[in-house]
Every structure is written in C-alpha cells, then in structure tokens.
Amino acid sequence: MTFRGINLENVKNNNRSAILQLLNNNGAMSRKDIAGRTGLTAASVTLICTELLDEGIIVELGEAVEEKRAGRKKILVDLNPSYKSILCIGIESDETFISVTDCKGNVLNSEILITDKKAGPEDFLEKIAMESARLLWDKGITKNDVLGAAVSVPGEVDREHGVSINTFSIWNTPVRIADILTKKLGIPIVVENNLKTSAESEMLFGSGRTEENFVLLKWGPGVGSSIVIDRKIYQGAGGLAAEIGHVSTGKDGKLCNCGRRGCLETEISTHAIIGDIEEEYRKDPESMPVLDSWYRQGNKMTYKNTGQWAALRDEKMQKILTSKIDKLAFGMRNYKSLLDPGKVILMGYMFDVPGFYERFIGAVKGYDNQIPDNYFVRSETFTRRKHIETLATAMNEWFF
C-alpha cells in the first residue's frame, strides 16, 4: 500500500467550512475566539479569514464591545449576507414555495404557487423557472449574483444527478429537475428529498445544531422522518431510510401513493384524518354535534386550518384524533428502540395544534415510561420552512 500523504486542499476547505459554520451558528466573532473554538492556530485563522474577506464571503464589523484591557482589541468578523443570493424552491404536494434569500436567510422576495399535478413536470418546472426569474428581476439580482438554487421534493431523489426518482404524490416518473431548471435559469441546481432538507435546516439553523444524533419527525399534511448520525443524514441503500410514513401497519390496509398497502401515512396524514372524520360524520351527523355546528357555519376541513377543526371539542372526533396520535406514538416507540437517537425533533402542522405536542409525548411515554422529559424538542425552523429548509441544502452544497 502506497502512502499518498495528506490532501492539503481538502484540509484547507475543511478549515474554511469549520469557520463559516461557526459564524453561522454563533454570529460575529473575533479571530482569536474563532481559533479557540475551532482548535486552529491563530495564524491559520488569520490567513483563512483574510481570504474570505477578499472573496467577500465575510465582513469585518469593527471592535468588539468588552471591558478595558491591555493589548490589541478584538475585531469582529461575520458572514456577509450580501455575498450572494440563494433561490429556494420547495415543491410540496399542494403548494410550491419560491423564495430569494441572502446568505443569512433573510427573505428578499417570495411567491407561492399551487402545485399543478395535472401539468407535465417540464411544464410546471418552466412555470417555476419563470416565477423565479421574475422574483430575481424584481430585486435587480442577476444570475451572477446567485449562489445557486436548491429544490426540495417528496419521495426518492438522486441528489448527485439532480433527479426526482418518484414523488408519489406529484409525479410518478423520474424527472431531471436540475437539468431542466439549469437550462432555464443558468444557475447551479441541487435537488433533495424534502425530509432531508428539513434535517439539514435543523442542523444548520435549528434544534439540531448541538446534537450529534437525532431523528426529525414531521407530521402534517403527510408524515415522515429523517435520521442524523454523527452530524450526517443517513440515506440508506435507496435514499429513503427512516421513512416512518411508509412503515407498514398491516398488509390489508389502505393503498398508499407509493403503491403498497398499510403505510402509516395512509392512516395519519392530515388528508387521511380528515377523510376518516368526514366518513364518521356522514354516517350520523347528530353524533358529532360540535363538528356539525362548525360545518353549518360554512367551515370546511383542510390541512391549512388544521388548528381550527382539530381543536373542536367534539367527543367522537377527539377519539379519532387520539387513535391517530397513538398510532404515531407506537411507531415512534419502535423507532427509539431501533435507533436510540439522542433527541427527537418534532415539526409540522399537527404538532402545532394546541395540546397535540403534549398528547403525543404522553402517548409515547405510555409505551415507554423511561423516556426523559427533554427527549422530545420542538423544531426551531418550521415557522420559516418555506425557505429555510432549501436554504440549508444550498448552503451545505456550495457554501459550507
């Protein structure tokens, strides 16, 4: 075996990445403090920071405010939000979110499109490209000012080649998203599964910044999960590891979009819950008086107003909701036994319904009373999901 030595370019890139991620997580810092936190020599930090300043990736903010002391004052440096703009595109089954942000995650422009499932994928992607170009044009941003675009989609993704293999709920054939959008926009494109982008956002901007190992559990409108091991997303052989939504609840269950029967998502997705509640209501409206009164006021159940109808004090409806919470809790209990993550981060519309977060944790503890109180934590990024998830993927791809 021949010893080939150390790749100094990789070492340098890793050191740059460490400094940039430290500034992302902590905000402005002095070079001395950066050296102390990263373990790099002061000379290395100074050299790298000089290069980053010359490239415009970081900026100096002036002297740090500190008590009077002898010696040279600390000069703070931070990420330069104006270095490049980033195009963030989240394609979901019902809506598509398009945002233009700076490198600090500040939204410069945004738009929401209805996801057109009837249109061919290339036609819909052309619509996305046209809207993206408009958002950039409105802010005077040229393609040379853009770091790149990140696109998230449900289902299986080939990130290396920018291909959506199968979204199940939108397209059922492979779609070369990166090739199509690069041709139309003239900028680099990265494509990733939406649950993976959620996990990346938690690692960069949210509750996962200080965790080495965790599971991200997302509930509503669908249900899914992602595993992070040693600060890396575990993909599995086919890129669909940890998909709790497709764990089987029985071979005779409902048909799922993935083509199999009995997937957990067919039982506890928001659409499935609405379907079960409305089916019970149609059988005997008088047995669900609170829901009946709500309907008579002209209301309609959708995933967008989950917080309204799920909070109704209708006894029969709440029993249905309790059974759905219990199904997910049972699945999570098995997940804990198999994976033993350090934390479980909860995100999604359903966990934002008053009382659901607590009811879910109580249900899991009903299956495992040894779970500590701090084992589950709320997502810190969900309220900014329309842009922060794909932003994290773009930053990891080209910045960090």
369-389 confidence digits (pLDDT tens): 888 888 999 998 888 888 888
Element housing 40 (H / E): none
pLDDT at 305 over 50: yes
Q: What is the mean pLDDT of residues 262-291?
A: 91
Q: How confident is the model at residue 65 (pLDDT cuts 50, 70, 90)?
A: low
1.10.10.60, 3.40.33.10, 3.30.420.40, 3.30.360.10: CATH of 85-201+385-399: 3.30.420.40
| CB contact at 8 A, 190 and 162 | yes
Chain mean pLDDT for the chain: 88
User: What pLDDT shows up at residue 309?
Assistant: 92
Q: What is the mean pLDDT of residues 66-75?
A: 65
Higher pLDDT pick, 50 / 156: 50
Residue for token digits 């890793």? 14
Element housing 380 (H / E): none
Identity at 151, one-letter amino acid code: V
Question: Which residues in the chain are classed under CATH 3.30.420.40?
Answer: 85-201+385-399, 208-379
Q: What share of the chain is helix, strand, coil (3-state, %, to 5)?
A: 45, 20, 35
Question: Which residues in the chain are classed under CATH 1.10.10.10?
Answer: 8-79
Please report, in angstroms and rounded to a whole number, the separation of the first and last CA atoms in the chain: 32
Higher pLDDT pick, 213 / 67: 213
User: What pLDDT shows up at residue 1?
Assistant: 47
Give the residue from 347, 395, 308, 387 showing the smallest Cα distance to 112.
387
Structure tokens at 326: 């219990």
User: What pLDDT shows up at residue 3?
Assistant: 44
User: What pLDDT shows up at residue 238?
Assistant: 62
| CB contact at 8 A, 154 and 169 | yes
What is the value of pTM for the model shown?
A: 0.84
Helices (H), the chain: 8-26, 31-38, 42-55, 121-138, 177-185, 194-205, 265-268, 270-283, 289-296, 306-309, 315-339, 349-352, 356-367, 385-394
The CATH code belonging to domain 8-79 is: 1.10.10.10
Distance CA 144, CA 116 (A): 30
User: What pLDDT shows up at residue 66?
Assistant: 60
| CB contact at 8 A, 379 and 195 | no
User: What pLDDT shows up at residue 104?
Assistant: 86
Q: What is the mean pLDDT of residues 301-322?
A: 92
pLDDT at 240 over 70: no
208-379 fold: Nucleotidyltransferase; domain 5 (3.30.420)
Q: How confident is the model at residue 260 (pLDDT cuts 50, 70, 90)?
A: confident
What interhelical angle do 194-205 and 385-394 show, nearest 10? 80
Give the residue from 14, 392, 339 showing the smallest Cα distance to 203.
392
